[in-house]
Structure 1
Amino acid sequence: MTRHTVNASILLTDRPLLERPAAARAAGFDAVEFWWPWPQTATPSADQVDAFVAAIEDAGVQLTGLNFFAGDMPAGERGIVNNPARQDEFRANVDLVVEIGERLGCKHFNALYGLHADGIDEEAEAEAARANLSYAAKAVDAIGGTVLLEPVSGAEAYPLKKAADALAVIDSVGAGNIRLLADFYHLAVNGDDVAAVIAEHAQDFGHIQIADAPGRGAPGTGDLPLDTWIKAAQDGGYDGPIGLEYIAGEGDPFAWVQA
């Protein structure tokens, strides 16, 4: 049976962030994942971190994934891994992510690459990204962790749009614990051949996330063959949870699970 993990940064947004783990549990799920919970800072206070950890523990759910700080996501940023001017900020965040991961038994950490900035040499960005990813991979390895790298849609300046883009970066770093985050929605709307990616690279997936297209809604609201793709990935060797990272419509956001 497929295990689902609820992305509580995009779902259950009708309630405060720290109430969402318990809401996921009440809806019948035993696992959650989050984007970085503090979009304005890479290094929140100890009290803020303690409150987040307590919300997960008190809800009785497992944290299966956490993003590294990705800049101000609500303002349009999509990561700082490739930003040469923000390496100290990223690395300070890595150390905190490792602490949270160790406290909560979380092993998978998503590093959003970042947008290409006008006026900055692309190779300088790539070099910064390789250095930061290498640093993050070594840091999370201390707790048995994996760094995830994700192609993303909806941001033209984001350099990693297809699976091959992310896999090329992973190969260039050469760390054994950096793996592809295969978000079937992002891959599909960016024009990737998702079935082919699964057939060739399911064993390279560190995590899978899903939403339907068009619309990035719940499974069944669009026309993507998500069940077929999930089964193919599992047949190909992927044995992790499936992250639910879609925009809920009106009513029960998880009605499709029972259906």
Structure 2
Amino acid sequence: MVNNIQEQKNKNMKNKTVIITGASTGIGKEIAKLFIEKGSNVVMNSSNQENLLNTFQELGSPANATYLIGDISKQETSHKLVTLALEKFGSIDVLINNAGIFSPKPFLEVKENDLELYWNVNLKGTYFASQAAIPNMVAQKSGAIINIGTVLVDHAIAGFPATAPLMSKGAIHTLTRQLAAEFGKDNIKVNTIAPGIIRSPLQGKIGIENADSLAGLHLLNRIGETNDIAEAAYYLAFSNFVTGETINVAGGHTVGHAI
């Protein structure tokens, strides 16, 4: 029975169109890889042209994928993504708002431009992309939006001050619930994935040389891998009865710590 359900789900995912922002490295790259392998049509986005082109080629320049280089904090990028998806594949079934930036900085050192940066890329990017995709989902009476938040919204760490990015991520968690409420009648499911510490290029960017040293933040006493988030996104993309939720994929990070 379980195998039959999984086979049917895989069948349903083929030829569905998935837009993924921040798809050139790390979590976004792994999400794109999984959906492409499952037969979905994938539109990949990143503001980094070199990384996006390299990733697209690394994935084999698949016929069921295309890409758009553009800054997701600009509203026009979201409109271009939607136009490309419709022209290339004829529908927009899933939007994965993965693009984002994150870096620690003590509260008293945060400047106005720090707030604007996180607000623009993290929140406005998610907001604009959702706003561009939803009309098509309303028209077809189905769709799924998956936002990427963080467990730190609900579980702060004293030694990791990050008020500026966390404000934007907290707003994304709130946006998720409101969109789920507003568009539930249209059969549009909206959820957030809140990752714990994940092995990705982000760790190096924020100065963490050994991500495994943070394993104790999770009850499983290990850090997560990018495919852990990809698999969660794959589930939520085609789940029929989950909406408005924040799914912690964090090895027990919000429940307690291994010491």
Q: TM-score, normalised by structure 1?
A: 0.41
Q: TM-score, normalised by structure 2?
A: 0.41
Which structure has the highest helix share of the two?
Answer: 2
Higher relative contact order by CA 8 Å / sep ≥ 6: 1 or 2? Answer: 2
